[in-house]
A and B are shown apart, each in its own frame.
Chain A
Amino acid sequence: MQDTDLMLRVQKGDEAAFNTIVERYQKRILDLCTRYVGNPADGEEVAMDVFFQLYRTRLDYRPEAKLSTYLYRIAVNRSLNRIRDRKRRRLVSFEWLRRDRPFDPGAPDEERPDSMLETAEREALVRGAVDGLPEKQKTALLLRRTEELSYEEIAAAMGTTVSAVESLLFRARETLKKKLRPVIS
């Protein structure tokens, strides 16, 4: 059944239709949110939030809009909110963290084999590079890279134009190229 038909059923209170939507999109939304916020636990919370939001606002959904676009839009907003919240909390708790948890350089690393260490370092470097991108570049990049959306779909999800998406992706790639030089050799 088409997404739109499912959503119309959800609007009439069909629980099974909602479950089908969750099943269809949970992996994609979870991937996007996890890569956006940077860790699986937060990613899952945000993804759950996305579907909860979809359910709560089910009556606002209009069949003219593609459901996937609608979901991606919620996912991006929720992920951004989570990151902003986290930054705010980190600012508050920074002093406390410094006093209670002294930095222990590399204690667990010593037990890890080199290959795992390399993978972890690589991941941290890529993570840092992606997180360092301006919000819009990061959003366009993840929608393209993780979800493999077309420029038109990305533009719809971000509420912008195709040519803006083109330029965001160009700039994101330029920045990443500079930052990731050590891992692409």
Chain B
Amino acid sequence: MNCSDVEKWLSAYMDGELIPARKDAVASHLGSCEACRSRLAEWKAVWQALDALPAAAPSPAFRSRLAARIRESERPPVSERFERFLIPVSAAAVALLGFWIGYIAGGRQASSAGIPDSVSPIASTAYLDSFNSVPTASLGDIYLSLNDAIGSEETP
């Protein structure tokens, strides 16, 4: 192994990446060659000089900012969020409208057809049974309260 071979292997030698046989050969050449020793010293100094590049320290907010960014990315886009809100609201509105139209039409039909008054209390009792326990502010609850209001208007 001559000086130019050694020069070629010096970089990997410094990094401990030479196969054992080659590493030994370089080491024994270095033991006897002043020029290659000084070349190695120079390369080591270059490596050392890279210490001048400052190391970084994560700012205390790094983790929380990362977490916030991930959370933000996982929120559905605005249009999707709006749809999610809009669908149940419009469904409820349609249902309410249906009840209201049903109530008007039903009322009109009952009065024009001249159905005897004794029929309606039975009908409303039957409906009341089927809505026996409904959660507050649910559609059923609203229907029941409407029904009560109608009942109290009609009975006196």
Q: Is the CB of B11 within 8 A of A169?
A: yes
A177 to B49, CA, bound (A): 10
Q: Is the CB of A126 within 8 A of B52?
A: yes
Q: Which residues of A contact B53 (CB under 8 A)?
A: 35, 123, 126-127, 130, 146
Q: Is the CB of B62 within 8 A of A126?
A: no
Of A26, A40, A125, A166, the residue contacting B12 (CB under 8 A) is A166
Q: Is the CB of B63 within 8 A of A151?
A: no
The yes or no answer to A144 lying at the interface (CB within 8 A) is: yes
Q: Which residues of B contact A176 (CB under 8 A)?
A: 46, 49-50
Of A44, A51, A126, the residue contacting B56 (CB under 8 A) is A44
We find that the number of chain A residues with CB closer than 8 angstroms to chain B is 41
Q: Is the CB of B11 within 8 A of A31?
A: no
A169 to B15, CA, bound (A): 10
Q: Chain A 33-62 against B: per-residue CB contact (8 Å), 1 yes, 0 no?
A: 111000010011001100110011000000
The yes or no answer to B117 lying at the interface (CB within 8 A) is: no
Q: Which residues of B contact A22 (CB under 8 A)?
A: 63, 66
Q: Chain B 1-21 against A: per-residue CB contact (8 Å), 1 yes, 0 no?
A: 000000010011001010000
